[in-house]
Amino acid sequence: MKLKKPLLMICTLALVAVLAACGSKDTQGDSSASGTANNDTTSTELSGSVLAVGSTALQPLVEQAAQKFMAESQYSKIQVQVQGGGSGTGLTQVAGGQADIGNSDVFAEEKLKDEAKDLVDHQVAVVAMAAVTNPDVGVDNLTKQQLVDIFTGKVTNWKEVGGKDEKIVIVNRPASSGTRKTFEKYALGTSTEDLKGSIQEESSGTVKKIVSESPGAIGYLALSYLDDKVKVVKYEGVEATVENVASGKYPVWAYEHMYTKGEPKPEVKAFLDYIASDAVQSGDVVELGYIPVSKMEVKRDVDGNISK
Amino acid sequence: MKAMDERPVQVEPARSARWKKHHAEDLAGRSYTFICVALLIVIIISIVYFVASKGLATFFRDGVSLSEFLFGTTWDPEGNNGEPMYGVLPFIFGSFATSLLAALIASPLSICASLFMTEIVPGWGKKLLQPVIELLAGIPSVVYGFIGLTVVVPFMRNVFPGQGIGIAAGAIVLSVMILPTITSVASDALSALPRGLKESSFALGATRWQTISRVILPTVLPSILTGVVLGMARAFGEALAVQMVIGNAPHIPRSLFESASTLTSVITLDMGNTVMGSAHSNALWSMALALMFMTFIFVLIVRLLERRHRI
């Protein structure tokens, strides 16, 4: 009986300590992380933990790479954790120091203002997107202007762009989504508002399901999602293939970024180097439907300028 | 303390030891529950504070006026058409429309189910129906959403004009989800009814129908309404299942079969893609604040109904 009360007190204190630690994590996450990094530099074998947060479009690649990375004997002491949450979350958390790596579909400069200067960009893959329609609309090719007309609501029937007499149903991603930003920026050249009656879906999987089932539907998907259930439309007569993207003929693509705050600590650098290695770039990257950065014959900067 | 302890020692040592033990146990239990309650209160207050501090930033820091927020019909937080606009009326409309419609569909079904279980076939009816209803309550909302997307949406598309997506599909999915809530509250109220009430009605020569419709239902009406309000509160807060079938266009729809949004669906849709502290993210927190405020009102209504119910 005399033991119980101190026990209770200890429990309470422990709880308070845990709660306090939760509270201070936001501000001190960065300093504690750099503390572990300092310890690691003294030992030859890297150890520690790496937290990568952000883009759901990039998540499958990072997850698969993390599994293989941790299985390698020289990295076995490094724990890599991969979380989704979206590009905005990834950038916020890496800029705030809660995460070691922020995965993003867009350049940090497009989302953040001043914080973007501290972030170091690591481009790990390229994702290309294509406009897709329900198979029954009977359209094979759309020009940039036709796409703009469709997504801004000027054209509301497929027969106006050479298809069947069927009402057009737009299936969008949310206005803040990275996939939509890429599609609007490089395929339409303009941002669009959400029209009355248009559909917005949170994930590419749902977009594909709805486009494949709804008569007259149009949406856009990353190349890795494409199959026979939806009709892939040519853009300005160019087919959305890996070769056309690499040569720069097909313009609707974006880099997948993994941002770190400042120069990465050793175990994070090891992981980033691993993803950039040939084994992953020509293996997992291709296998999961991304395009390796090394394959690209053209480069693109933040403002969308293309150089060979 | 010391003086109190010494007195029983002089009288009877054995009893005093027991007294001390019970006293200590009592104190331990008491302090433990106090700590738990204090923790709960701290958690609730911090959640409210956190949501409020983020949500109010829209009005105080980003300079959006409350009337523009609540009654504006244009939602364009990224500023695609010039100035960013933060009108959430379409979402508030969507939330109310789906949850009211869901309650409208679910209430008659639930009331009949609970009458069936308690009045009409109390034996095997209850044994059969109770587990089924409890099972309904246990199905995760993502499963409801997925079923909605694969079964309800194509069905609506074939039967009604439009894409099958919209408030009607959302309300149907929600009505199944809130069925267990209303049914269990209503059947609890029905079985708690004094036997004498029913028996005196029968003794006066009333038929079963007359007894149910004129005696039982009017008596338990406040409780049933409590169940309906609780169900609506659940429907109001449900995000995932609705988001999958409602279409999420930020406009007030012209029909029940046109893409619309609710407060919750927009929050889940945009949360991950916005940067913390940006005006867009703050607007989402303001919507969360509005949702919390609505829940508060629902709780208030339930309290009022309960007070009236005491016979």
pLDDT in tens, A183-202: 998 999 888 888 888 898 88
Locate the chain A residue with the closest alpha carbon to B257.
A197
Q: Which residues of B252-266 are buried (b: 16+ CB within 10 A; e: fewer)?
A: bbeebbbbbbbbbbb
pLDDT in tens, A235-261: 999 999 989 999 989 999 999 999 999
Q: Which residue has the tokens 């609890």?
A: B188
Q: Which pTM value belongs to this model?
A: 0.79
The answer to whether the beta carbons of residues A151 and A199 sit under 8 Å apart is no
The answer to whether the beta carbons of residues A198 and A168 sit under 8 Å apart is no
Check if B251 contacts A (Cβ < 8 Å): yes
Question: Which chain A residues are Cβ-neighbours of B273 within 8 angstroms?
Answer: 86-89, 174, 176-178
In CATH terms, are A48-126+255-307 and A127-247 the same topology? yes
pLDDT at residue B125 tops 60: yes
Check if B130 contacts A (Cβ < 8 Å): no
Q: Do B273 and A199 touch (CB under 8 A)?
A: no
Euclidean distance between CA atoms B245 and A209, whole angstroms: 12
Euclidean distance between CA atoms B50 and B288, whole angstroms: 11
pLDDT in tens, B234-259: 999 998 899 989 989 899 998 889 89
Q: Which of A5, A91, A199 sits opposite B247 (nearest CB)?
A: A199
Check if B219 contacts A (Cβ < 8 Å): no
pLDDT at residue B308 tops 60: yes
- A253: number of CA atoms within 13 Å, CB side? 30
pLDDT in tens, B195-229: 899 899 999 999 999 999 999 999 999 889 999 99
pLDDT at residue A203 tops 90: no
- The pLDDT assigned to A44 comes to 58
pLDDT in tens, B262-296: 999 999 888 877 888 888 889 999 999 999 999 89
Locate the chain B residue with the closest alpha carbon to A115.
B275
Check if A153 contacts B (Cβ < 8 Å): no
- The pLDDT assigned to A307 comes to 80
Q: Which of A88, A195, A214 sits opposite B274 (nearest CB)?
A: A88
Type and span of the H or E element at B163: none
Q: Which residues lie closer than 8 Å to A294 by C-beta, 6 or more apart?
A: A281
Assigned token pair, B305? 């109904």
Give the mean pLDDT of B172-195. Answer: 92
Question: Which chain A residues are Cβ-neighbours of B75 within 8 angstroms?
Answer: 194
Kindly indicate the confidence band of residue A43, based on its pLDDT and cuts at 50, 70 and 90: very low
Kindly indicate the confidence band of residue A230, based on its pLDDT and cuts at 50, 70 and 90: very high
Kindly indicate the confidence band of residue B114, based on its pLDDT and cuts at 50, 70 and 90: very high
- The pLDDT assigned to A40 comes to 42
Domain positions in chain A are 48-126+255-307, 127-247
pLDDT at residue A34 tops 50: no
pLDDT at residue A20 tops 80: no
The answer to whether the beta carbons of residues A126 and A255 sit under 8 Å apart is yes
pLDDT at residue B157 tops 50: yes
Q: Which residue has the tokens 């762009």?
A: A161
When the pLDDT of each residue in chain B is averaged and rounded to a whole number, the result is 89
Higher pLDDT pick, B282 / B11: B282
Superfamily in which the A127-247 domain is placed by CATH: Periplasmic binding protein-like II (3.40.190.10)
- Number of H helices and E strands in chain B, helices first, is 14, 2
Locate the chain B residue with the closest alpha carbon to A205.
B244
The answer to whether the beta carbons of residues A111 and A87 sit under 8 Å apart is yes
Euclidean distance between CA atoms B8 and B84, whole angstroms: 76
Q: CA dihedral defined by B50, B54, B59, B60, rounded to 10 degrees? A: 80
Higher pLDDT pick, B275 / A160: A160
When the pLDDT of each residue in chain A is averaged and rounded to a whole number, the result is 83
Q: Do B24 and A89 touch (CB under 8 A)?
A: no
Question: Which chain A residues are Cβ-neighbours of B249 within 8 angstroms?
Answer: 194-200
Q: What are phi and psi of A51, to 5 degrees?
A: -115, 120
pLDDT at residue A181 tops 70: yes
Kindly indicate the confidence band of residue A10, based on its pLDDT and cuts at 50, 70 and 90: low
Q: Which residues lie closer than 8 Å to A306 by C-beta, 6 or more apart?
A: A248, A251, A298, A299, A300
Locate the chain A residue with the closest alpha carbon to B34.
A12
pLDDT at residue B7 tops 90: no
Euclidean distance between CA atoms A85 and A88, whole angstroms: 8
Distance from CA of A59 to the nearest CA of B (A): 13
Class of domain A48-126+255-307: alpha beta
